[in-house]
Structure 1
Amino acid sequence: MSLKAQINEDMKAAMRAKETARLSALRLLLAAIKQKEVDERIELDDAAVITVVDKMLKQRRDSVTQYEAAQRFDLASAERFEIDVLTAYKPAGLTVEQIAAEVDAAIAATGAASAADMGKLMAVLKPKLAGKADMAEVSKLVKSRLSN
């Protein structure tokens, strides 16, 4: 079953169980997926759906920090619940050691030696690690490896 179909089934289950908060989060996710499909006139595969989930997770995390800064803990709590719902659709992430091994392999494969080669290195790493690792953390690791 595709990830999109799984989300649809989970939405139906939430509807039957009358879980309004979960249903709302799943409807937002399906709306974002549908919007992407309409905009690009394509049917999204699992990798593209994961990209949409990642984008929504990033938005929710940003919202949580802003709500907490504004002392709106009720809204931050609602965003955290949506983060929990969305996280269920992400594949298992890689460990720090696995990410470091991928970075080292990419450095060896590309011959990157300085910070000027970072773009070339990230272009190799992004397809391998997208959806499995936080690319901001990967970028920090690459910078530290190239500066040594």
Structure 2
Amino acid sequence: MLRETIKAETIASMKAGDKERTATLRLIGAKIKDRDIELRTSSKEVDDEAMVTDVLLKMAKQRKESITMYVDGGRDELAAKEQSELTVIEEFLPNQMSEDEMRAAIEAIKAEQGAESIKDMGKVMGELKARHGAELDMSKASSLVKESLT
């Protein structure tokens, strides 16, 4: 479903003559194909929707890190390019959880797992990723879990 949406958007942006959007969508398509090739040798069956979402999440994370580095380095034109790519990528991602929603999910998982100390962080993070992986910024979630368990 998501894969087809990305292909349809690529065609639409080509017809519209939007070169920047088309380039970003083609980049997304290329990353998805790369992951398909990686998974050919894997013995595990992977849900296509989850795989595409994972690719998009990684691409978004890379863009956010690049934007930070470019802004710190005074390269605003490169930061703007990365930001425009990030905007296109985020169109296809599920809505991200707010900080309050993340805290509520963390507290619920802590209660279910009986997690009390920092030693239980791995269990909480694993369950959090399993339940809400596509809707979370895992780096924010990690800091919230750490804060919650100390």
Mean CA deviation greater in 133-142 or 76-85: 133-142
Among 121, 124, 127, the alignment partner of 1:121 is 124
Within 5 Å, give how 1:22-101 maps onto structure 2: 22-41=21-40, 45-101=48-104
State the Cα distance separating 1:74 from its structure 2 match: 1.3
Aligned counterpart, 1:111: 114
Q: What is the alpha-carbon distance in structure 1 between the residues aligned to residue 2 and residue 23 of structure 2?
A: 18
Percent sequence identity over matched residues? Answer: 36
Q: What is the alpha-carbon distance in structure 2 between the residues aligned to residue 74 and residue 144 of structure 1?
A: 36
Cα pair distance change 1:84/1:143, threshold 3 Å: same
Q: What is the alpha-carbon distance in structure 2 between the residues aligned to residue 70 and residue 138 of structure 1?
A: 27
Gaps of 5+ in 2: none
CA offsets 1:93-112 (integer angstroms, 9 cap, x no match): 22222222211111111111
Cα pair distance change 1:5/1:103, threshold 3 Å: same
Aligned counterpart, 2:142: 139
Gaps of 5+ in 1: none
Q: What is the alpha-carbon distance in structure 2 between the residues aligned to residue 129 and residue 40 of structure 1?
A: 23
**TM-score, with length taken from structure 1:** 0.93
Are positions 1:19 and 2:26 aligned together?
A: no
Q: What is the alpha-carbon distance in structure 2 between the residues aligned to residue 108 and residue 82 of structure 1?
A: 39
User: Secondary structure of the residue that 2:135 maps to in structure 1?
Assistant: coil
**TM-score, with length taken from structure 2:** 0.91
Cα pair distance change 1:26/1:10, threshold 3 Å: same
